[in-house]
């Protein structure tokens, strides 16, 4: 991907977000993480160009970070190129929320010492500011887990979540969603902030979201996540009675589930309008199930305990959101949570399956990413 710092179109499209983050600014503590995310995105796109349809192979695609406290990410189509914008508010809230959740003893209680929290005296190690959270009683309090092992685990999960949102936005672009959305929905951009859409367009809009989730789950799950890294989760954090592969799935599901929760806005919309995004738990269950299915194809995992492995961290997230009184849509609590989750996921996947031919007709990759590994 090019570095179009003087590209008028780029700056014009980024202006509503608050403007581009200039890499020359003295934000040394941010540099390592932002540079890493740019490199990951560039490597993925350049690696896939050979598989794109001819008219898209030379189309510029830029990933940029914008100076805004808003929690959002967008894929936008311009006249000269396509753009992915990630706000600094999104990055800060992912790290802050993840660290705050690990202050709760109910969050992965077997990792480190789950008791004890502290208020930060400064930013994270990488310069990311702490994000206000609630402890269920007082609002706007920032907390870190006192235990170093829990803090390290929280930051690893936040890293996973950030990689996923980058891949998700690239999935919108490479999946042809900007063109499809322009033709069918009258929009030339895809935003991650849940917003009202007309009921007649709601299902297609949600299908586009899980299609991008499937793309991200594939490249993040199969291509990178499953290639040996699963061993580190159970070994590093000593999960008793949990296999290394199950630990990897649970960590992955928790990271993505929290990401979707962080990105969600309250859907208090008129009766004539619907949510642009599926419920966070339903999205996560769909995405991780997709990654898990590919792992089974690659003989990296076993389907026999799929549902219980994925549901456990999602149930944990819903419990934490309820306990901390955080905003967002609710699913049923135990004992019917798992049944409702499976039901809604199945209904969404059925809607997706009926639109596969439509999606493939707009995709910039032949047969999307499906089968690309077999051709490499």
CB count, 10 Å around CB of 20?
18
CA torsion, ordered 50, 56, 60, 61, to nearest 10 deg: -80
Reduced to 3 states (helix: H, G, I; strand: E, B; else coil), residue 294 is helix
Strands 81-87 and 60-66: parallel
CA–CA separation, 310 and 318 (whole Å):
13
CA torsion, ordered 319, 325, 330, 335, to nearest 10 deg: 30
Distances (CA, A) of 78 to 59, 84, 188, 228, 263: 11, 11, 8, 39, 24
pLDDT digits (tens, 9 = 90+) for 321-337: 888 777 788 887 667 88
As given in the structure block, the two tokens for residue 302 are 């076993």
The phi, psi pair for 14, rounded to 5°, reads: -80, -20
pLDDT at 358: 93
pLDDT at 256: 94
Domain boundaries, the chain: 8-89+168-375
Instruction: Dihedral sign for Cα 231, 158, 253, 109, please.
Output: positive
Closest CA to 89 of 64, 71, 65, 63: 71
Side-chain-side CA neighbours of 39 within 13 Å: the count stands at 6
> Which residues does 96 contact at the CB level (< 8 Å), separation at least 6?
128, 129, 130, 131, 132, 133, 142
CB count, 10 Å around CB of 116?
13
Q: Are 151 and 157 in contact, with CB atoms under 8 Å apart?
A: no
pLDDT digits (tens, 9 = 90+) for 133-165: 443 444 445 678 888 888 888 988 998 899 999
pTM of the model: 0.87
The phi, psi pair for 162, rounded to 5°, reads: -70, -40
Positions in the chain whose pLDDT score sits under 50: 2-6, 26-29, 126-129, 132-140, 223-224, 372-376
As given in the structure block, the two tokens for residue 353 are 């399956």
């Amino acid at each position: 991907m090019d570095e179009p710092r003087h590209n008028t179109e780029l700056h014009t499209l980024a202006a509503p977000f608050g403007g581009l983050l200039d890499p020359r600014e003295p934000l040394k503590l941010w540099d390592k993480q932002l540079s890493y995310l740019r490199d990951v995105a560039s490597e993925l796109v350049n690696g896939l160009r050979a598989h794109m349809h001819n008219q898209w192979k030379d189309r510029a695609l830029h990933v940029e970070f914008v100076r805004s406290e808003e929690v959002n990410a967008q894929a936008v189509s311009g006249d000269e190129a396509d753009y992915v914008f990630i706000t600094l508010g999104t990055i800060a809230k992912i790290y802050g929320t993840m660290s705050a959740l690990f202050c709760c003893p109910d969050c992965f209680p077997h990792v480190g010492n789950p008791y004890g929290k502290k208020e930060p005296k400064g930013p994270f190690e990488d310069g990311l500011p702490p994000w206000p959270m609630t402890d269920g009683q007082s609002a706007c309090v920032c907390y870190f887990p006192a235990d170093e092992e829990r803090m390290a685990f929280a930051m690893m999960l936040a890293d996973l979540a950030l990689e996923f949102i980058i891949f998700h936005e690239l999935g919108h672009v490479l999946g042809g969603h900007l063109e499809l959305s322009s033709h069918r929905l009258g929009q030339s951009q895809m935003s991650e902030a849940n917003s009202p859409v007309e009921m007649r367009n709601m299902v297609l809009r949600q299908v586009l979201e899980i299609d991008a989730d499937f793309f991200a789950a594939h490249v993040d799950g199969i291509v990178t996540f499953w290639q040996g890294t699963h061993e580190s989760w159970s070994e590093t954090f000593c999960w008793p009675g949990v296999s290394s592969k199950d630990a990897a799935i649970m960590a992955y599901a928790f990271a993505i589930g929290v990401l979707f929760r962080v990105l969600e806005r309250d859907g208090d919309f008129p009766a004539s309008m619907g949510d642009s995004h599926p419920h966070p738990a339903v999205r996560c269950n769909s995405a991780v199930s997709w990654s898990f299915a590919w792992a089974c194809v690659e003989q990296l995992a076993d389907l026999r305990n799929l549902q219980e492995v994925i549901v456990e961290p999602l149930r944990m997230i819903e419990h934490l959101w309820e306990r901390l009184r955080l905003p967002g849509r609710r699913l049923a609590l135990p004992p019917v949570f798992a049944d409702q989750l499976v039901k809604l996921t199945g209904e969404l996947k059925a809607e997706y399956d009926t639109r596969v031919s439509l999606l493939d007709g707009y995709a910039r990759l032949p047969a999307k990413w499906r089968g690309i590994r077999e051709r490499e």
